[in-house]
Each structure stands twice: as structure tokens, then as C-alpha cells.
């Protein structure tokens, strides 16, 4: 089974900061990866698909990159509504797998 | 509008089983795959399983093979997920979610069903 290793598990940042989150797959998953945002008490919502494509309606400050085994989610200028937990999800092969999550907190 | 509505919270004893329903509205359940994801209190998301409500084919995470059974009732547009041999570590919020092609987006998600396993 493919394992997804996400880092960091948490980070503290301020509004306007640039934030980078990384996911590493245990084997090549091409670009079959999405990034999800989850706010407290809510179901997750996808921000990025195919590793680097922005989901419709998602602000352009979110971007994704990578392919193969290394992937990155970047928030170019953190906004108040971006304080949340972020997860990567590989869907290249069953069983699918989430990363462990990154909680973005107020500094 | 398209939504998935799940059954209500459950409290179960260790060793028991729980069956959660996921009822689709706004579309026909057999059109898209349904996934199950759980989240233990204060923890991350864990992918559990997938069912094709049309053909019945399924996929499972290693942790759930042999313990999860998924069925569907097309007459009520509902998918069910039964988890057996419950233990305290199964206490979690269980979500169903629809998979949308072509890029396999999970959307929408159900509201979640809280399962508490306690003696």
C-alpha cells in the first residue's frame, strides 16, 4: 500500500505569510494527488487536483506542485480564513491514502 | 441540490457492529462511486473503503478488510457501510463522500456520523 508522509504536522504563521506544506509518497503516484482543506466541524473541501490544478472557485493564492513522489501545497499570502488543517490525498492506487494533516495556526 | 445525508449518531459496545446509511439526493446513487472516510476525535482523516453502487465492486484499506461490508439499496438511493467487531479505537466521525470524475474529487460529503464505542 502507498503511504503518504506529510510535513509539518503543524505550523504557526501570520496573515500575509507564505506557507508551504509537503507530502511525500512511498512510491510513484504520477500526479494523482489532491489537496484538501478542513475547517473545524466541517467536511473537507478540495483545493488542488492533479497535483497542481486549482479547483474552480479556490483563490489563486493556493498553488500546488510536484509529481512522482514529492508534492507541495503553497499559500502565497495567508489570509484569516486559511487557518485550517490541510491534507493531501493520493488516488493513484487503491487503497487511497491521506497524509497525516498539517494544522495551520495563528502565530 | 446534490447532497448526501447520513444516519444519526450511534453508541455501541465493544465487539458489536454498526451500520451507517448514506442517502443521496439530487442524483442517482448508482452513477458515481461512494467512499468512506473516518476521523477519530482530534485526529486526521483516514480513508476506509470505496464501493461502486452500480457494479458492487469494492476496495478497502488494509485496516478494514474483513471488518467492513458495504451494500446499496437502489430503491431508496442509499448506500450502507457496516463495521463489525468494534473496538474503542473505532470511535470516530464517519463520512461518506461521492467521487466525481475525471479527477476523482470527493464531493459532496455527508454530514458525518459519530460512532462511539464504549463499554
pLDDT digits (tens, 9 = 90+) for A33-43: 999 999 999 99
Cα atoms found within 13 Å of the Cα of residue B68, Cβ hemisphere only: 24
Per-residue pLDDT, B43: 98
Confidence band of B56 (pLDDT split at 50, 70, 90): confident
Cα atoms found within 13 Å of the Cα of residue B32, Cβ hemisphere only: 24
Residues B34 and B20: beta-carbon distance below 8 Å: no
CA-based R_g, chain B, Å? 14
Cα atoms found within 13 Å of the Cα of residue A77, Cβ hemisphere only: 4
Per-residue pLDDT, B119: 95
**Phi/psi at B89 (nearest 5 deg)?**
-70, -10
pLDDT at B55 over 90: no
Give the DSSP per-residue string, A20-74. EEEEEESS--TT-EEEEEE-TTS--EEEEETTTEEPTTS-TTEEEEEETTEEEEE
Calculate mean pLDDT across residues A29-36: 98
Dist. CA A38–CA A36, nearest whole Å: 7
CA-based R_g, chain A, Å? 13
Distance of CA A35 to the CA centre of its chain: 4
pLDDT digits (tens, 9 = 90+) for A94-103: 999 999 999 9
Name the average pLDDT for chain B.
97
pLDDT digits (tens, 9 = 90+) for B74-114: 999 999 999 999 999 999 999 999 999 989 999 999 999 99
Dist. CA B86–CA B70, nearest whole Å: 16
Confidence band of B7 (pLDDT split at 50, 70, 90): very high
CB-CB under 8 Å, B61 with A1: yes
Task: Give the nearest partner residue to B45 out of A32, A95, A101, using CB atoms.
Answer: A101
CB-CB under 8 Å, A46 with B106: yes
CB-CB under 8 Å, B97 with A101: no
Beta bridge partners of A4: A25
A98 touches chain B (CB under 8 A): yes
Dist. CA B51–CA B59, nearest whole Å: 7
Task: Give the nearest partner residue to B109 out of A32, A44, A94, using CB atoms.
Answer: A44
pLDDT digits (tens, 9 = 90+) for A2-24: 999 999 999 999 999 999 999 99
Q: Are strands A102-106 and A10-13 parallel, antiparallel or unpaired?
A: parallel
Amino acid at each position: 500500500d502507498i503511504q503518504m508522509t506529510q510535513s509539518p504536522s503543524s505550523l504557526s504563521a501570520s496573515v500575509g505569510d507564505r506557507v508551504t506544506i509537503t507530502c511525500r509518497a512511498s512510491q510513484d503516484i504520477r500526479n494523482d494527488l489532491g489537496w484538501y482543506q478542513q475547517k473545524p466541524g466541517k467536511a473537507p473541501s478540495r483545493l488542488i487536483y492533479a497535483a497542481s490544478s486549482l479547483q474552480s472557485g479556490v483563490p489563486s493564492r493556493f498553488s500546488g506542485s510536484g509529481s512522482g513522489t514529492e508534492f507541495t501545497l503553497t499559500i502565497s499570502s495567508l489570509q484569516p480564513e486559511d487557518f485550517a488543517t490541510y491534507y493531501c490525498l493520493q488516488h493513484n492506487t487503491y487503497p487511497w491514502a491521506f497524509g497525516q494533516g498539517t494544522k495551520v495556526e495563528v502565530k | 441540490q446534490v447532497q448526501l445525508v447520513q444516519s444519526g449518531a450511534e453508541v455501541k459496545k465493544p465487539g458489536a457492529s454498526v451500520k451507517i446509511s448514506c442517502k443521496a439526493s439530487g442524483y442517482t446513487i448508482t452513477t458515481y462511486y461512494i467512499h468512506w472516510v473516518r476521523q477519530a476525535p482530534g485526529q486526521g482523516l483516514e480513508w476506509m473503503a470505496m464501493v461502486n453502487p452500480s457494479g458492487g465492486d469494492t476496495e478497502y484499506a488494509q485496516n478494514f478488510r474483513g471488518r467492513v461490508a458495504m451494500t446499496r439499496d437502489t430503491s431508496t438511493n442509499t448506500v450502507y457501510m457496516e463495521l463489525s467487531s468494534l473496538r474503542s479505537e473505532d470511535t470516530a466521525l464517519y463520512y461518506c463522500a461521492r467521487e466525481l470524475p475525471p479527477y476523482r474529487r470527493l464531493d459532496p460529503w455527508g454530514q458525518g456520523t459519530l460512532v462511539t464505542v464504549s463499554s
